[in-house]
Amino acid sequence: MSDFTNGFWPWYVAAISLFSVLACGLLLYLASKATVVTHPGKVADNTTGHVWDENLSEYNNPLPRWWLWLFILTIVFSLVYLVAFPGLGSFSGLLKWSAEGEHQQDVTQLRADVAPLYTAFSAQPVEALAKNPQALAVGERLFMNHCSQCHGSDGAGSKGFPNLTNANAAWLGARTAEHIVQTVTNGRTGLMPPMAAAVGGEAEMSEVAHYVLSLSGSPHNDIKAFSGKKLFSACAACHGVDGKGNKTLGAPNLADDYWLHGWGEAAIVSMIKNGKSNVMPAQSPKLSAEQIHVVAAYVFSLAKTSTGAADSAASAKPP
């Protein structure tokens, strides 16, 4: 149970510890035995016989009793301590105490303490829990620890990492409790295959890109967009004939102002050329079902508006 790298060090450490304690005892013993030497030709004046600066001499007084006993107590204490607690190399002590064990105990205790809280939270549906300030406070902590590194501390995401404060229309999936819980538990992979082969060359890709831009009323070239419209049929299977996306497939709405993978012709052409495999890792190895339930409620509470297709303005176009 020790972290020593080989069998020598436990003995080495144990020997040094014991030696130091016993050496203290020996020192006390020797000091108490020291006697005053009366130098020939000098009066026995209870000094050690050392003289400095011509007239400074050193008395040989016994240690004060209280100090002596304190010293003895310290030695006894350290011996008892070394028997009871880990300290002598890899000997774990008769009490079997360890820092790790104490931590485990604390964790178990804490889990037991919050269990009733989580049971109460679990009894409520996510949507209702999203209005419970206590649950939101717990959910926020969980979010900060497990989600914010990707989705941002305010949940607003960044390139490739969805903005969870978006309204439903801009989400990859439906902004429902089931979708959130399912995504957090199992993770998800957003997969768009490279589409260049189905679209054509650079000119065609640019045309589709301008058509896609026209869907959201973004600045675009009308002529290119007009030619691109026909080519968009290659995309419609996933993104819908109107480009409004398909939440079951996780194909985003291209007609809104939210661009997960960047805005503009270059970003869209790059999506067509290279496709995308965007992965959120499953959180179930790290979070219990109860914790996921609570963090889902927190996420649910983040969106500025809860429903509606015309609320895409809630999400800003990246600069």
Nearest to ligand HEC of 88, 272 (CB atom): 272
| Residue placing its CB nearer to ligand HEC in the complex, 88 or 170 | 170
Q: How far is the CB of 269 from ligand HEC (least distance, A)?
A: 9
Separation of alpha carbons 129 and 45, rounded Å: 87
Query: Whole-number minimum distance, CB 116 to ligand HEC, in Å?
Result: 23
Residue 252: CB minimum distance to ligand HEC, A: 4
CA distance 280 to 73: 60
Binding site for ligand HEC (CB under 6 A): 146-147, 149-151, 160-162, 164, 171-173, 180, 183-184, 188, 190-193, 195, 199, 208, 212, 234-235, 237-239, 249-252, 254, 259-261, 268, 271-272, 276, 278-281, 283, 295, 299
Helices 99-122 and 133-146, axial angle in degrees (round to 10): 130
Minimum CB distance to ligand HEC, residue 272 (Å): 5
CA distance 256 to 269: 17
CB closer to ligand HEC, 88 vs 205: 205
The answer to whether residues 160 and 252 touch, using CB atoms and an 8 Å cutoff, is no
Question: Which residue, 126 or 172, has its beta carbon nearer to ligand HEC?
Answer: 172
User: At its nearest, how many Å lie between ligand HEC and the CB of residue 290?
Assistant: 13
Place of tokens 């209005």: 131
Closer Cβ to ligand HEC, 136 or 208, answer by number: 208
Chain residue whose CB lies nearest ligand HEC: 190
Distant-in-sequence contacts of 93-101, Cβ < 8 A, 24+ apart: 98/1
Helix (H), strand (E) counts: the chain: 13, 4
Cα separations (Å) of 258 from 180, 216, 252, 298? Answer: 19, 9, 9, 22
